[in-house]
Chains A and B, each alone.
Chain A
Amino acid sequence: MTTTPQAVRRASPRARRTVTPPDPARPLLPDAEPVRLLDPTGTPLPARTDYPEPPVEALRELYRRMVLGRRFDTQATALTKQGRLAVYPSSRGQEACQVAAVLAVRDTDWMFPTYRESMALVARGIDPVEVLTLLRGDWHCGYDPTAVHTAPQCTPLATQCVHAAGLAHGEAYQGRDTVALAFIGDGATSEGDFHEGINFAAVFKAPVVYFVQNNRYAISVPLSRQTAAPSLAYKGVGYGVPSEQVDGNDPVAVLAVLTRAVAHARAGKGPFLVEAHTYRMEPHTNADDASRYRDGAEVDAWRDRDPLARLETYLRARGVLDDAAVAEVADQAEAYAADLRARMNTQPTVDPLSLFDHVYAEPTPQLVEQRELVRAELAAAHDEEGDA
Chain B
Amino acid sequence: MATTMAKALNTALADALAADDRVVVFGEDVGALGGVFRITDGLQARFGEKRCFDTPLAEAGIVGFAVGLAMSGLRPVVEMQFDAFAYPAFEQIASHVAKLRNRTRGKLSVPIVIRVPYAGGIGGVEHHCDSSEAYYAHTPGLKVVTPATVEDAYSLLREAIDDPDPVVFMEPKKLYFGSADAELPARTEPFGRAVVRRAGRDATLVAYGPAVPVALEAAEAAREEGWDLEVVDVRTIVPFDDATITASVRRTGRCVVIQEAPGFAGVGAEIAARVQERCFHALHAPVLRVAGLDIPYPAPMLEHTHLPGVDRVLDAVARLQWDDQPDARWAAA
Residues of A within 8 A of B238 (CB): 364
User: A152 is contacted by which of B64, B65, B103, B141 (Cβ under 8 Å)?
Assistant: B103
| A198 CB to nearest B CB, Å | 10
Given contacts A169-B68, A174-B72, A364-B240, contact A196 B60 (CB under 8 A): yes
| Contact between chains at B100 and A170 (CB < 8 Å) | no
Answer whether residue B96 sits at the interface, using C-beta atoms and an 8 A cutoff: yes
Answer whether residue B95 sits at the interface, using C-beta atoms and an 8 A cutoff: yes
| Contact between chains at B92 and A169 (CB < 8 Å) | no
C-alpha spacing A383/B64, complex, angstroms: 47
Interface residues of B in 103-133 (CB under 8 A from A): 103-109
| A172 CB to nearest B CB, Å | 9
| Contact between chains at B68 and A364 (CB < 8 Å) | no
Most buried by B among A170, A357, A365: A170
| Contact between chains at B102 and A359 (CB < 8 Å) | yes
User: B64 is contacted by which of A145, A147, A159, A178 (Cβ under 8 Å)?
Assistant: A159
Residues of B within 8 A of A166 (CB): 64-72, 76
Cβ-closest chain A residue relative to B104: A141
Answer whether residue B294 sits at the interface, using C-beta atoms and an 8 A cutoff: no
**Which of B2-10, B50-58, B200-208, B224-232 forms part of the interface with chain A?**
B50-58
Interface residues of A in 182-239 (CB under 8 A from B): 192-193, 196-197, 199-200, 203
**Binary contact track A22-65/B, C-beta < 8 Å → 1, others 0:** 00000000000000000000000000000000000000000000
Answer whether residue B101 sits at the interface, using C-beta atoms and an 8 A cutoff: yes
| B169 CB to nearest A CB, Å | 16
Answer whether residue B300 sits at the interface, using C-beta atoms and an 8 A cutoff: no
| A151 CB to nearest B CB, Å | 7
Answer whether residue B159 sits at the interface, using C-beta atoms and an 8 A cutoff: no
Q: How many residues of A contact B (CB 8 A)?
A: 43
| Contact between chains at B50 and A366 (CB < 8 Å) | no
| B63 CB to nearest A CB, Å | 8
Residues of B within 8 A of A140 (CB): 99, 102-104
Residues of B within 8 A of A161 (CB): 64
C-alpha spacing A139/B54, complex, angstroms: 37
Answer whether residue A360 sits at the interface, using C-beta atoms and an 8 A cutoff: yes
Answer whether residue A262 sits at the interface, using C-beta atoms and an 8 A cutoff: no
Residues of A within 8 A of B56 (CB): 196, 199-200, 203
User: A357 is contacted by which of B58, B74, B105 (Cβ under 8 Å)?
Assistant: B105
Answer whether residue A101 sits at the interface, using C-beta atoms and an 8 A cutoff: no
Interface residues of B in 226-245 (CB under 8 A from A): 238-243
Residues of A within 8 A of B24 (CB): 173
Answer whether residue B42 sits at the interface, using C-beta atoms and an 8 A cutoff: no
| B105 CB to nearest A CB, Å | 5
Given contacts A169-B69, A170-B74, contact A366 B58 (CB under 8 A): no
Most buried by B among A197, A360, A364: A360
Residues of B within 8 A of A203 (CB): 55-56
| Contact between chains at B64 and A167 (CB < 8 Å) | no
- Please classify the interface of chain B as helix (H, G, I), strand (E, B), loop, or mixed, using the class held by over half of its residues: mixed
Cβ-closest chain B residue relative to A208: B68
Residues of B within 8 A of A164 (CB): 68
Residues of B within 8 A of A167 (CB): 68-69, 71-72
| Contact between chains at B69 and A170 (CB < 8 Å) | yes
Answer whether residue A361 sits at the interface, using C-beta atoms and an 8 A cutoff: yes
Interface residues of B in 21-76 (CB under 8 A from A): 24, 50, 55-56, 58, 60-61, 63-74, 76
Which range contains the number of B residues in contact with the other chain? Answer: 35 or more
| A227 CB to nearest B CB, Å | 20
| A22 CB to nearest B CB, Å | 17
| A189 CB to nearest B CB, Å | 15
| Contact between chains at B65 and A169 (CB < 8 Å) | yes
Residues of A within 8 A of B104 (CB): 140-141, 144-145, 152, 358
| Contact between chains at B71 and A163 (CB < 8 Å) | yes
Cβ-closest chain A residue relative to B61: A196
| Contact between chains at A146 and B105 (CB < 8 Å) | no
Residues of B within 8 A of A258 (CB): none
| Contact between chains at B92 and A159 (CB < 8 Å) | yes
C-alpha spacing A136/B239, complex, angstroms: 32
Most buried by A among B88, B104, B141: B104
| Contact between chains at A162 and B71 (CB < 8 Å) | no
**Binary contact track A127-147/B, C-beta < 8 Å → 1, others 0:** 000000000000111001111
| A199 CB to nearest B CB, Å | 5
Most buried by B among A147, A359, A365: A359
Interface residues of A in 271-329 (CB under 8 A from B): none
| B74 CB to nearest A CB, Å | 5
Given contacts A169-B69, A359-B102, A359-B141, contact A364 B92 (CB under 8 A): no
| Contact between chains at A365 and B239 (CB < 8 Å) | yes
C-alpha spacing A110/B108, complex, angstroms: 14
| A169 CB to nearest B CB, Å | 7
| Contact between chains at B102 and A200 (CB < 8 Å) | no
| B160 CB to nearest A CB, Å | 13
Answer whether residue A171 sits at the interface, using C-beta atoms and an 8 A cutoff: yes
| Contact between chains at A358 and B106 (CB < 8 Å) | yes
| Contact between chains at A193 and B73 (CB < 8 Å) | no
| Contact between chains at B69 and A156 (CB < 8 Å) | no
Answer whether residue A168 sits at the interface, using C-beta atoms and an 8 A cutoff: yes
Most buried by B among A144, A161, A358, A361: A358
User: A358 is contacted by which of B68, B69, B71, B102 (Cβ under 8 Å)?
Assistant: B102
10 nearest CB pairs, A to B: A166-B68, A162-B64, A170-B72, A196-B61, A167-B68, A364-B239, A166-B65, A361-B164, A170-B69, A163-B68
Contacts beyond the supplied A140-B103, A166-B72: 7 A-B pairs with Cβ under 8 Å: A140-B104, A166-B68, A170-B72, A358-B101, A359-B102, A361-B109, A361-B164
Query: Residues of A at under 8 Å CB distance from B?
Result: 110, 139-141, 144-147, 151-152, 156, 159, 161-171, 173-174, 178, 180, 192-193, 196-197, 199-200, 203, 354, 357-361, 364-366
12 residue pairs of the A-B complex, CB under 8 angstroms, read A141-B105, A145-B71, A159-B60, A159-B64, A165-B65, A166-B72, A168-B68, A173-B50, A178-B72, A200-B56, A203-B55, A358-B106
Query: Residues of B at under 8 Å CB distance from A?
Result: 24, 50, 55-56, 58, 60-61, 63-74, 76, 88, 91-92, 95-96, 99-109, 140-141, 143, 164-165, 192, 238-243
